[in-house]
Amino acid sequence: MYRKQQGVPTSSSAGSLKRQLSPELAHAQGSSIPVAKSISRRPTKRIKPLPATQTQNPQLQSASTSQSTRTTQVSRPTSPVKVTEGRSGYTTENPGAEEGRNLQPVIFHSIILPQPDLASLSPPTFSGNFDLYGMYLPFLVKVYLPTAATTPDYTAVYDRILTSQAKHDYTARCFLAPPDTSSSAPHFGRFESSTVLDPMVERPLDITLGAFTYKKALTYTPTERTSFQAPEQSTVGPGLVGHTGLPVTCGIKSAKGVFKIKRVWATEEHGSTKELFEGFFSFSVCYDSMYRKAGHGNGAKYKFAFWGVRAMKDNTGKEIGLGPRKAMW
């Protein structure tokens, strides 16, 4: 049985995209541009000029204050959305200036969180089962980069993920086959997500992972970085780059995408290593006439950035996860 993440859309339509973009539309309609006051050219009684601090336009003061505090806000990464045509986006909260108020700027003191030295730990092993969690999840957005922090709090992210993992909640799962002695990259893998469904049976697609390449310094493209909450905070380190696809499936013409993963945080505790991974997933699927006649369109596209932790183990020490695909014959 697969449990779906609450608040994670698995499909979209014109209505859902309209609702997603509606905050931006409402803000555009609600915004106002300060209009200069009209100046009368009739002679008036000469009065003593006020000090510069009192004659300043309150609207300009509040607008500059809003602009100075706006830099402390962290935008939320885009959620995975099934898109048939066009693209989906996300908006950031952009508070306007309060009219007639003399606001004072708020000064925050930077919080620097110490990060573990990854070089002192053993290199990561990219094999086995992983539980993945979308970076767009609100409870992870909140703890990843707290207000006024200059560095991510990876420990808080890891601990919060373990709380959800204990309930067997996750955005996706993947399995990476152990590499052989001649390579640091696995030969194949699997990927399943409650956000990437086969619309005909309403079950997660059994996505293949393959063509892996080991990178000493894994990087992301500018397009991929838009899915991250704070891409400039991503640490440099080794990782894997692979391709997503599907086995031969009736009704599906083609499928392709990208899978990337690397370790960003680790620490030793009581003889065991705690590890936090980050990565990116994209998947594009093209349907044939059978799916189109059933009203599912020409296909769908998915993409999101994720956090990852190693899967839990049962009482016998065996990992609880996807594992390798079972033979059909």
Res 78: pLDDT: 56
pTM: predicted TM-score of the whole model, two decimal places:
0.66
Residue 169 structure tokens = 């909640």
β-bridge mates for residue 280, sequence order: 260, 305
The alpha helices in 129-267, defined as continuous H runs, are 138-144, 154-165, 222-225
Q: Would you write out the chain's pLDDT as a tens digit for each of its 329 residues?
A: 444 444 444 444 444 433 343 333 344 344 444 434 444 444 445 555 555 444 444 444 444 444 444 444 445 555 565 554 333 333 333 333 334 444 444 433 334 444 555 556 778 889 999 999 999 999 999 999 888 888 899 999 999 999 999 999 999 999 999 887 666 778 899 999 999 999 999 999 999 999 999 999 999 999 999 999 888 887 788 999 999 999 988 899 999 999 999 999 999 888 888 999 999 999 999 999 999 999 999 999 999 999 999 999 999 889 999 988 775 44
What is the distance, to the nearest Å, from the Cα of residue 244 to the centroid of all Cα atoms in its chain? Answer: 18
Res 206: pLDDT: 95
Rounded to an integer, what distance in angstroms lies between the CA atom of residue 179 and that of residue 92? 42
Res 47: pLDDT: 52
Rounded to an integer, what distance in angstroms lies between the CA atom of residue 11 and that of residue 305? 18
> For 240-267, b where at least 16 C-beta lie within 10 A, e where not — what string?
bbbebbbeeeeebeebebbbbbbbbbbb
* The CA-based dihedral angle spanning residues 157, 162, 167, 170, taken in that order and rounded to the nearest 10 degrees: 50
DSSP string of 94-161, one letter each residue: -PPPPTT-------PPPB------GGGSPPP---EEEEEEETT-HHHHHHHS-TTBSS--HHHHHHHH
Beta-sheet pairing, 299-310 with 272-287: antiparallel
Res 304: pLDDT: 96
Q: Could you identify the residue written with the tokens 């698995």?
A: 10
The alpha helices in 226-296, defined as continuous H runs, are 289-293
Rounded to an integer, what distance in angstroms lies between the CA atom of residue 279 and that of residue 124? 14
CB 267 within 8 A of CB 293: no
In angstroms, the first-to-last Cα distance of the chain is 23
Helix (H) or strand (E) holding 26: helix 14-30
Res 53: pLDDT: 45
